[in-house]
Structure 1
Amino acid sequence: MSSYVTLSNGLKAPLVGLGLWKIPTDTAADQVYNAIKLGYRLFDGAADYGNEVQVGEGIKRAIGEGIVKREDLIVVSKLWNTFHSPSNVKIALDKTLKDLNLEYLDLYYIHFPIATKFIPIEEKYPPAFGDPNAPFEFEDAPIIDTWRALEKEVDAGRIKSLGISNFPGALIQDLLRHKLSHRPVALQIEHHPYLVQPRLIEYAKRENLQVVAYSSFGPQSFVELNHPKVEKVPKLFDHDVIKSIASKHNKETSQILLRWATQRGLAVIPKSSNKDRLLQNLHVEDFDLSEDDIKQISDLDIGLRFNDPWDWKNSGIPTFI
């Protein structure tokens, strides 16, 4: 099993969890169940991923068989952009808890600092982006108003911890300027050797935010989406620098990429449907990279962001500019 980190509110969370993005509904229940059997204890999901019903089935099966207790697991979800208005936060959380068949979440992120027009669950769910041919429509829902609604759900015991995802430093600072009843405990960001974001990580650590890296394998995470930026760079699994370091440590390239993050104190949430790869991803703390290894990997940084709202349907949403 992964080692644990203690978040600023006292919650203990594994440094390595299972990411649930792009796991198909026809395999999600089995993958979650099998991952629990292998030792995974954190599951990072979202309403937008469209598989929360099946994720809940996998969790229920593992608990029912006595493999784990509910309190052994860290179950994570995210508030989608269309539910930012305070009156809609409860609607989104109700749906997620019902789908997962759980009474509470351990960690609930604001998925993006973007408030788009509310779409009723009856019209479209999972929420995604609405009409793919229509321009984005936004709602006047400041982040602090969304946060206040989330704090009420923490007070009600339906959420244990709050987090923020895809927030740039200026918006984090703006949120923290408010007198918060419940501060964010984690910041989830795209993070891989092509997008290191050292200043954002330094600032997050200063504010006691546990940084959680997604898309740790860089372009590999976006191949099946036919992302236009994928072909601009070598796959990290095939990169000469990563391969050389992997050979030196007798490890897989995927393990080198994950250890590069965890050794620097970042949590990771890699995804795999392969049992051997799941175990490899989970066991990335039995070796250490040298300072030179870490520097070589970090020096691959070219500021290449794959998950950029500016590119969504040519929206021009200025999250990271």
Structure 2
Amino acid sequence: MSGRTRRGVQVPAAAGVLLAVLALAGCGGDQEGAGAQLVVTQDFGTRSIADLPQPTTRPGSTILELLSANVPGVRTATIAAQPQLSAVGPVTNATVDGRTKRWTLFVNGVGEDAEGPGQELDDNDVVWWDHHDTGAAARVPAVVGSFPAPFRNGVEGKRMPLRIECSPADIPACQKVQDAMTAAGVFAAQGGLQQSITDETLRIIVGPWERIRDDDTARLLEGGPRVSGVYARPTPDGRSIALLDATGKQTRELGPGSGLIAATRLRDGQPVWFITGPDVAGVSAAAQALDQGNLKDHYALAVDDGRAVAVPEVGVAVRP
């Protein structure tokens, strides 16, 4: 395994040393993983530290022990009687110039609470640790970068049925999403937008923003990352969607023909994904981008003028 840099971002010297050390990670061990995966990144997935599709595991390992067994330089701290990740090599939890960067955990695309690192690893878990600036969003409830998790892997060890909800019901993007899920090995029922929410069903909502915003979970996106954990903010009229940087400042505005793939959770409910945009063409563009190659290691994904754009935008100048 070797480290990589994405989108032309220059890796600092300290991170370069870490990448060299981690090139040795994942070799040998007691037992090959039976489906578990481990990803370690910085800055919202833009810098890869480790990407292990078959990490070394031991029976009964916790999520934190999985990291320690495969990546050198792991240090922990006990907070509220729970083990927490504090550093991987030189990359530490710290506050500098008033901005806090810390390690955040996602399991199958779902943000974990304080007990997450100490929970026992499931054979099919996709474990993603990311170190990033938390100033704009102290909590990120869900991300799209572990696709096809959580649909194929489940949440907290439990697989659930998937419902694709479309508005309007006959929007062409609906079938594109259905096809993408079938290609990913996931069966999904399809129907219109429902307001009833169950903890026993995962949902993908497909449609122009003005058509789907009345869903209680969808409306969280209009509050920006501090409310939804998504670094994009649709306007209530659905005419545009602002993309944001790591600090929550706008970098660009998506207009007609542009799309967004994002996920969040309402309180402690199941994650809900959104395939949306200002218009039908934008929704179609987002649906077309729904695959593992496009989504990998991204918190959310936009499509602007036919190009995939990782969200939040890191290292992009903020527009006045």
**TM-score, structure 1 as length reference:** 0.28
Which structure exhibits the higher relative contact order, with contacts defined as CA atoms closer than 8 Å and separated by 6 or more residues?
1
**TM-score, structure 2 as length reference:** 0.28
